Structure 1
Amino acid sequence: MAGTNNRVLKLWQSMAGKPRGKWLFTRMICLRAPYFGSIRPKFEALEPGHAQVSMRKRRAVHNHIGTVHAIAMCNMAELAGGVLTDVTVPPSHRWIPKGMTVEYLAKAETDLLATASAGDVPNADGGEDYPVQVDVTDTHGKTVFRAVITMWVTPKQKRA
């Protein structure tokens, strides 16, 4: 696992316990990948193999029936799964989302929490799939959405 050699994880560890540190960490991630800012997420937990991201239910993420839009939940899942992968794979490797399968299990009528989890990192000497599961729950603990994001993990190319 990447452990403390990962600069994103080091940043999280240095900021998470400080006032507004989780919010600021999340803003920094959203500066790097601006589209994620559209849902106004907030990281709640982050370590190799585990990440949690929250999102408030607000008008900007509503669908036509006033619940959280399916694509907003996909966005939340990809953010949680992507940053989890970043702090989990060794610094000698890179990753990119390859695919996502989703299940919409119930109406998302409250604020949400995405919990991403993954197993052992693949060897990935020639490239390998790395599945990350993301469960999104409402404030009552009910799972409203589930995704499995397939990350493609490969060794970084050596620079000449």
Structure 2
Amino acid sequence: MLVLCINLFLEVLFVSAPLLKIYKRMQWLPFGQWLFSKAVCRKAPYFGSIKPTITTLEPGLCCATIPKRKAVFNHIGTIHAIAQCNLAELCAGVMVDATVPHKTHRWIPKGMTVQYLKKAETNLRAQASIELPRQWQDKEDLIVPVEVFDEQGNKVFHADINMYITAR
């Protein structure tokens, strides 16, 4: 019953408000970041496979973490490449959604260039950020850099994600 109530609450919330506003509303709740992250994964189920937690969201910035667990291991016991790509795309997409003015513009990922810098052997933390303020154009390619770090603060992965921004 509790799960049904939470799902209904999240559905109503996600239909009626922009992402950043929802994030800010949920911060005061116990387990608010976890709940918000689950709701994002419900809207974009593919991200649920990495069990992310969105830890920071503001215009121009998104941070998220994923735990090291067997479901995201590769054959050598490190976090596999596609899990790292998913984390990067999640951060970039949530950040862009929270930053681009939703009444006048929309966005879609157009491409991604990645670099695997070190073995990802611990829980991971990702950060996507862009410089603000900026003028939003029609038919604009926005390159969003995403850095992924291990628990020791070593950069293990870098992605440049091309977001295509258009006017509504």
Residue 78 of structure 2 aligns with an amino acid whose one-letter code is T
Residue 124 of structure 1 aligns with an amino acid whose one-letter code is Q
Shift of 1:118: 1.2
Shift of 1:19: 1.2
CA contact (8 A) 2:127 2:146 kept: yes
Q: What is the SS of the residue equivalent to 1:63?
A: coil
CA contact (8 A) 1:48 1:88 kept: yes
CA contact (8 A) 2:100 2:136 kept: no
Tell me, in whole angstroms, the C-alpha distance in 2 between the residues paired with 1:99 and 1:119. 20
Where does structure 2 lack aligned partners over 5 or more consecutive residues?
Answer: 1-16
Residue 93 of structure 1 aligns with an amino acid whose one-letter code is H
Poorly superposed stretches of 4+, deviation over 2 Å: 119-123
Tell me, in whole angstroms, the C-alpha distance in 2 between the residues paired with 1:110 and 1:16. 26
Question: Could you say if the C-alpha distance between residues 150 and 122 of structure 1 is closer, same or farther in structure 2, counting changes exceeding 3 Å?
Answer: farther
Equivalent in the alignment of 2:54:
43
Say which of 80, 84, 90 aligns to 1:79: 90
Equivalent in the alignment of 2:24:
13
Report the TM-score when normalising by structure 1.
0.91
The C-alpha deviation readout for 1:86-118, integer Å capped at 9, x for no partner, is: 011112100000110000000000000001111
Over the aligned positions, Cα root-mean-square deviation in angstroms equals 1.1
Tell me, in whole angstroms, the C-alpha distance in 1 between the residues paired with 2:148 and 2:165. 24
2:26 aligned with 1:27: no
The C-alpha deviation readout for 1:15-62, integer Å capped at 9, x for no partner, is: 123211000000110110000000000000000100001000000000
CA contact (8 A) 1:51 1:117 kept: yes
2:125 aligned with 1:119: no
Tell me, in whole angstroms, the C-alpha distance in 1 between the residues paired with 2:111 and 2:38. 25
Tell me, in whole angstroms, the C-alpha distance in 2 between the residues paired with 1:123 and 1:96. 14
Shift of 1:147: 0.3
Residue 136 of structure 2 aligns with an amino acid whose one-letter code is N
Residue 127 of structure 2 aligns with an amino acid whose one-letter code is T
Say which of 94, 109, 114 aligns to 2:106: 94
Tell me, in whole angstroms, the C-alpha distance in 2 between the residues paired with 1:58 and 1:30. 18
Where does structure 1 lack aligned partners over 5 or more consecutive residues?
Answer: 1-5
Q: Which has the higher helix share?
A: 2
CA contact (8 A) 1:122 1:128 kept: no
Equivalent in the alignment of 1:150:
162
